[in-house]
Chains A and B, each alone.
Chain A
Amino acid sequence: MNGEGAGRLRVLLVDDEHGYLEVLQKRMSKRNLEVTPVSSGTEAIQQARRQSFDVAVVDLKMEDMDGIEVLKVLKMMDPKLAVIILTGHGSEQAAREGMALGAFDYLTKPCELNDLLERIYASQEG
């Protein structure tokens, strides 16, 4: 599925786990995605102001700002932005709430990279 579509997809990766951001960025870059990792909700919003993205992958639980809040702001800034929520087990309720607020889909951590990529591409098809 690598290289599908016109140009590289721009992905905003939001998670407060540096290790996770790092490895995910490496793997996604290797699959020809343009990945911008940020480690907090605030940073994510700042980054979204600077440039536009096709997809945002947002962790639901972060220290400074709730993932749902981040989703709301991002959607407000760019309604076309596809947001995919990452959540832990037991927080599916919050994830569904995010869906209602316009998120494209959600995935439960830990997840397969392929599943994530599938959702990312799917979000660009419709």
Chain B
Amino acid sequence: MQTARVRPAAYYRTLTRNLVLFVVVISLLPLFFTGAIILYQFKQAYQVKVEENLVVLLNKHRRTIDAFLIDRLADIRVLARSHTVPELSDPAFLKAKLTLLREEYNGVYVDLGLVDSQGSQVAYAGPFNLTGANYSTAQWFKQAAGSEHFISNVFAGLRGSPHFIVAVTKRYQGREWLLKATIDFESFNALVENIRMGETGFAFILNRQSEFQTKPRHEVILASGAWRELLQKPLDSGRVTIIEQPDSTGREMIYAAAPLKKGQWVICAQQEVSDAFVHLVRAQQVAIAIFVIGGLAIVVVSLLLARRLVRRIAEADEQKEAMNEKMIEAGRLASIGELAAGIAHEINNPVAIMVEEAGWIEDLMSDEGPLSEETLSEIQRAVQQIQEQGDRCKQITHKLLSFARKTDPTVKPVDLNGLVDEVLGLVSQKSRYAGVKLETSLDGQLPRVAASPSELQQVLLNLVNNAVDAINSEGGTVTVTTSHENDTAKLSVSDTGIGIADANLARIFDPFYTTKPVGQGTGLGLSICYGIINKLGGEIKVASAKGKGSTFTVILPTRQDSDPSPGGSGETGQN
């Protein structure tokens, strides 16, 4: 026997999935958005901070370098102004001054020289032998001639090693001289090389022709996108310009540039974004880790919870179904109880006849003398009567047993007309004594309906029982009608009884609602009917007029695949 489960396993799987999805989405969405917003804000703030730091750093070094250059220029200017050309033309004098400067400035000065207006070095102090060297064609000389003072770009010059020149014009007796000093490249370079940012940040100086004035710590390709773009921009003298771009290998880089030496040079810095934003990246990683771990925890927990919840629901459903079956069973037994008195009486009559007939046979046999022909035939009649009454008892018990059997919810095609005959047979005794006439108007072409025969039998018994009960001692009629229309079969039970008050009509299908005296009705009958019909996809309706009677109508869907069968021959009819 298959029991009709309320819900298929797929229902619970869908329920579990929906619950998990719901919980996960509801929990993760706020987490995700909060995280994303905080991270975004943090990134914005951090970016501003990093750029500000870069600006401060570059500005500081820019001032340091500018100050270094101005100081060197000032040294030479003091030297030029405080001494006459004859003094400065003396190599020994120059050498003494150079020694002084080198001692004072830690070897920043490489050499000193005095050059006349034709570019010829008239005096020289330093490690190279450059006395008499002619600079008339040198770039720096052309630029320096005529200006008060001058700081050259870095160049290799005659000596073949990178250096730059600080020169001051000295006028003496109507002629112009240049006092020049060579600045050690290494010590200047160290100024810039010491600028470091994080692991990958470094700085260098370019002139306006994009020639390196210091040696960059790492290889720099100036022709590449970012630097070219940055150096082509008109650099604002007071500000640091910053751009962010991926380099040729695809790494995100920060590039910064600021003018130096009155715009003649540019101090440049570059750093990998991942390095500059190392704390940000770490925060991002932590946030992502928290999100992933939290998300996993939420998924796992929601999965466990949903499973547990759905298991509970399934258990509750099963219990409910079991309770339903028990309730139907209880209702059934209550219906039988109501019929019991009538049926007991019905069975009493044949039993009483049998007892008396047996007694009669005894009476006849106790007569003295041989049994006459007449007596024998009387005994034969009595025995036959006993057999007939025995059969009557058998039929009554069978009828009762067919109903007292356990409820079987298995759905099969049911012939409603057969069911009506069967149930009316059960109720006939009760109705006879109540003075109620049972009438039927059955549709011979009624298609079968898909239902549990025993459940449907109970519905009909309840309705007919109630109908008989609704009729008072003056008597009346209960009419059971079947008919069909399109895809539905209709079964109605009408009585000419007391009717139902309007106030009670609304509650009539509520469980435990009864107007019968205590002990005579459970109040379950109609609610069970309602439950059974509802489960079968049908509907049950009531119409009633106070004092005129009530009609209960059950509408059930007919089986699509069924063939119309003549009334009274259904399988339930043979029960």
Contact = CB atoms under 8 A, between A and B. Distances in A.
A20 B349 contact: yes
B349 A26 contact: no
Interface stretch (B129-137, B338-346, B480-488, B541-549): B338-346
Interface string A1-41: 00000000000000001011001101100100000000000
B432 A24 contact: no
B371 to A, nearest CB: 15
A30 B364 CA distance: 9
Q: Chain B interface mostly helix, strand, loop or mixed?
A: helix
B360 A23 contact: yes
Interface stretch (B351-359, B458-466, B560-568): B351-359
Contact of A91 (B345, B349, B385): B345
Nearest to A17: B349
A78 interface: no
Contacts of B353: 17, 19-20, 23
A30 B354 CA distance: 18
Interface string B346-376: 0011111111110110010000000000000
A23 B385 CA distance: 10
A50 interface: no
Interface in A74-126: 88-91, 109-113
Q: How large is the interface on A (under 10, 10 to 19, 20 to 34, 35 or more residues)?
A: 20 to 34
A24 B356 CA distance: 7
Interface residues of B, number: 23
B433 A110 contact: no
B418 to A, nearest CB: 26
A91 B341 contact: yes
A61 interface: yes
Nearest to B364: A30
Nearest to A113: B359
A61 B352 contact: no
Contacts of A27: 356, 359-360, 363
B352 A110 contact: yes
B356 to A, nearest CB: 4
- A63, A90, A112, most chain B CB atoms within 10 A: A90
Given A19-B385, A23-B382, A61 B433 contact: yes
Contacts of A62: 433
A84 to B, nearest CB: 14
A26 B367 CA distance: 14
B356 A63 contact: no
Contacts of A30: 363
A90 B433 contact: no
Interface string B318-354: 0000000000000000000000110011001111111
Given A61-B433, A91-B341, A23 B348 contact: no
A88 B360 contact: no
Contacts of B360: 23, 26-27
B389 interface: yes
B341 A110 contact: no
Interface string B376-397: 0000001001000100000000
A112 B359 CA distance: 9
A39 to B, nearest CB: 12
A95 to B, nearest CB: 12
Interface string B60-99: 0000000000000000000000000000000000000000
Nearest to B357: A23
Interface of B: 340-341, 344-345, 348-357, 359-360, 363, 382, 385, 389, 432-433, 435
Top 7 closest A-B pairs, CB basis?
Answer: A110-B352, A88-B345, A88-B348, A23-B356, A19-B353, A109-B348, A110-B355
26 contacts: A17-B349, A19-B350, A19-B353, A19-B389, A20-B352, A20-B353, A20-B356, A23-B357, A23-B360, A26-B360, A27-B356, A27-B360, A27-B363, A62-B433, A88-B341, A88-B345, A88-B348, A90-B341, A90-B344, A90-B345, A91-B341, A109-B349, A109-B351, A110-B348, A110-B351, A110-B356
Given A20-B352, A110-B351, A110-B356, 16 more contacts: A17-B352, A19-B389, A20-B349, A23-B356, A23-B385, A24-B356, A26-B360, A27-B356, A27-B360, A63-B432, A88-B344, A88-B345, A88-B348, A89-B345, A90-B341, A113-B359
